C-alpha cells in the first residue's frame, strides 16, 4: 500500500496539504480521516473543499453529523461533497438513522468521514486513509499520513 507522510507546522499548512491532496480525488471516492479530537481533520477537509471551490462555510458537522456542500471539479463538472463527523454516533441504529449506508456508497459524491472507526463495518475497503497525529513537543506540529485506496486483496 502506498503511504505518503507529510509534516505540517501550522493550521494554514494543513489546509494547503488538504488542497493538494484533493487534486487526486475522483467522483465516488471515500476519505477516512483518523486522529484525535483537535488533530486537524476538519482543517484538512477545509483544504479539500477549497480545491473544489466550495463556497459554503466548512464547519465541523459534529451536531448535524452530515454536511453537504456543492463543489466543482477542475474541469467545471459539478460535484457533491459529504462531510461526515461520526464522533457522536454510538450505535449502528444511529448510523442508519442519519442515512450513512446510502451516503457512503453514493457514486456522484466525494465522501469525507471523520471518526470512521464508528462505522468500521460499513466503510468500503477501497478508501483513502488520512491519519493526523499531534506532536507532544510542539502544539502546532502535525504528522499526516496518506494511504491511497487499494483494490481489496482476496488472496
Ligand atoms: N498544524 C496544524 N494543523 C491543523 N490544525 C492545527 C495545527 N496546529 C494547530 N492547529 C489547531 O488545531 C485545531 C484542529 O481542529 P479541527 O480541525 O477541528 O480538529 P478535528 O477535526 O481533528 O477534531 C484547530 O484549532 C487548529 O487551529
Ligand atoms: Mg472535526
pLDDT one-digit tens code per residue, 113-128: 999 999 999 999 999 9
Q: What is the mean predicted confidence (pLDDT) over 138-147? A: 97
Atom of ligand 1 nearest to the CA of 36: 22
pLDDT one-digit tens code per residue, 47-73: 999 999 998 888 887 778 999 999 999
Give nearest CA residue, ligand 1 atom 13: 38
All domains of the chain in start order, with CATH = 3-147 (3.40.50.300)
Strands 128-135 and 138-147: antiparallel
Provide the residue count of the chain: 155
Spatial distance between the Cα atoms of 108 and 149, rounded to a whole number of angstroms: 18
- Grid cell of 148 as nine digits: 491511497
Burial (Cβ within 10 Å: 0-12, 13-18, ≥19) of residue 150: exposed
For the four alpha carbons of 40, 41, 46 and 48, in that order, the dihedral sign comes to positive
Give the global pTM: 0.95
For a ligand 1 pocket test, name from 43, 48, 131 the mutation site with the most ligand atoms within 8 angstroms of its C-beta.
Answer: 43
Q: Tell me which residues have their CB closer than 6 angstroms to ligand 1.
A: 8, 10-11, 13-14, 35, 37-43, 60, 114, 140, 142
Amino acid at each position: 500500500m502506498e503511504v505518503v507522510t507529510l509534516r505540517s507546522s501550522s493550521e494554514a499548512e494543513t489546509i494547503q496539504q488538504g488542497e493538494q491532496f484533493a487534486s487526486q480525488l475522483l467522483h465516488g471516492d471515500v476519505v477516512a480521516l483518523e486522529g484525535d479530537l483537535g488533530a486537524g481533520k476538519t482543517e484538512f477537509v477545509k483544504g479539500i473543499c477549497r480545491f473544489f471551490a466550495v463556497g459554503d462555510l466548512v464547519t465541523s458537522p459534529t451536531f448535524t453529523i452530515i454536511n453537504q456542500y456543492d463543489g466543482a471539479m477542475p474541469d467545471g463538472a459539478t460535484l457533491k461533497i459529504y462531510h461526515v463527523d461520526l464522533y457522536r454516533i454510538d450505535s449502528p441504529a444511529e448510523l442508519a438513522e442519519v442515512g450513512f449506508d446510502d451516503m457512503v456508497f453514493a457514486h456522484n459524491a466525494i465522501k469525507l468521514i471523520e471518526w470512521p472507526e464508528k462505522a468500521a463495518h460499513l466503510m468500503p475497503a477501497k478508501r483513502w486513509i488520512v491519519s493526523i497525529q499531534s506532536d507532544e513537543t510542539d502544539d502546532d506540529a502535525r504528522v499526516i499520513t496518506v494511504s491511497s485506496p487499494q483494490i481489496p486483496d482476496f488472496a
